[in-house]
Chains A and B, each alone.
Chain A
Amino acid sequence: KAGVTQTPRYLIKTRGQQVTLSCSPISGHRSVSWYQQTPGQGLQFLFEYFSETQRNKGNFPGRFSGRQFSNSRSEMNVSTLELGDSALYLCASSDGLAGVVQYFGPGTRLTVT
C-alpha cells in the first residue's frame, strides 16, 4: 500500500497570507489527524477528521481549520499567517479506532516571512 502523502513538501508564504496544505491517507483509512511541530512547542495536535467530520480538536486559534473529503483526503488551511506559524505540519492516517497506530506523512515545511 502506498503511504501517506502530503503536498506541497515546502512552502514559503508572507505574513498575512493564507495557505492550504493537503494530505492523502493510506488507502482504506478514514481518519486523518494533523500535527504542528516547532522547535519551541514540539509536536502538537491540531485536529482530527473522521468520515468527513471533525472529531477532535486541539488548542489552536480559529485561523487553523480543516476539512475532509469523501475520499478521505484532507486539507488544512491557515489564514492570516503569522511568523509563529512557521513549522513542520504532519498529517497522520489511521482507521480511526481507539489506540490504533497512526502513520505519518513526510510533512509540509511552512516558512512564514
Chain B
Amino acid sequence: AQKVTQAQTEISVVEKEDVTLDCVYETRDTTYYLFWYKQPPSGELVFLIRRNSFDEQNEISGRYSWNFQKSTSSFNFTITASQVVDSAVYFCALSDSYTGTASKLTFGTGTRLQVTL
C-alpha cells in the first residue's frame, strides 16, 4: 500500500534561516507522482510542485527547491531564506496507479513550519 511519512511534526526557525522539510514515501508502483502542498491558516491547500517517478531532476523555484531521490524514496523540500509568510503546514502527497485511477492522493501527516522574526 502507499504511505507517506513526514517525521517532522513542527519546525520553528528564525526568518532568513534555511529549512528542509522531509518526506519519505512507500509504493509498490513503478509509475507514481509526488506532490507538495501548502496549507496556510485559511485552510485551503495550495499546490507547490509535482514530480513523476521518471523525473529525478531536482528543481528550484525562487526560494523553494526540491530534492527527489528514488534510491532513498525521499522527496525533500527546502526553503531558502525563510520568511514569516512561509509559516504554514506543508503536506507531501503521493498518487499511483495502484488505486486504479492515480487520482487518489495519499497525504503525509504534514509539517507545521513557524517562521518568526
Binding site for B on A (CB under 8 A): 31, 33, 35, 42-45, 48, 50, 55-56, 58, 88, 90, 92, 94, 96, 98-107, 109
Contact = CB atoms under 8 A, between A and B. Distances in A.
B78 interface: no
A48 B97 CA distance: 14
Nearest to A90: B45
A102 B101 contact: no
A56 B99 CA distance: 8
B35 to A, nearest CB: 7
| The 4 nearest A-B residue pairs measured at CB | A98-B102, A99-B33, A104-B45, A43-B107
Contacts of B45: 90, 92, 104
Contacts, number: 74
Contact of A56 (B31, B37, B43, B101): B101
B101 A48 contact: yes
Interface of B: 31-33, 35, 37, 42-47, 50, 52, 91, 95, 97, 99-110
Given A43-B107, A99-B32, 17 more contacts: A31-B103, A33-B103, A43-B110, A45-B104, A56-B103, A56-B104, A92-B105, A96-B101, A98-B33, A99-B52, A100-B103, A101-B35, A101-B47, A105-B44, A107-B43, A107-B44, A109-B43
Contact of A42 (B47, B102, B103, B107): B107
Contacts of A94: 103
Contacts of B102: 98-99
Nearest to B46: A104
A2 B28 CA distance: 36
Contact of B105 (A45, A50, A96, A106): A45
Contacts of B42: 106
A58 B43 contact: no
Contacts of B37: 104
A103 B50 CA distance: 12
Contacts of A105: 44
Nearest to A9: B43
Contacts of B46: 104
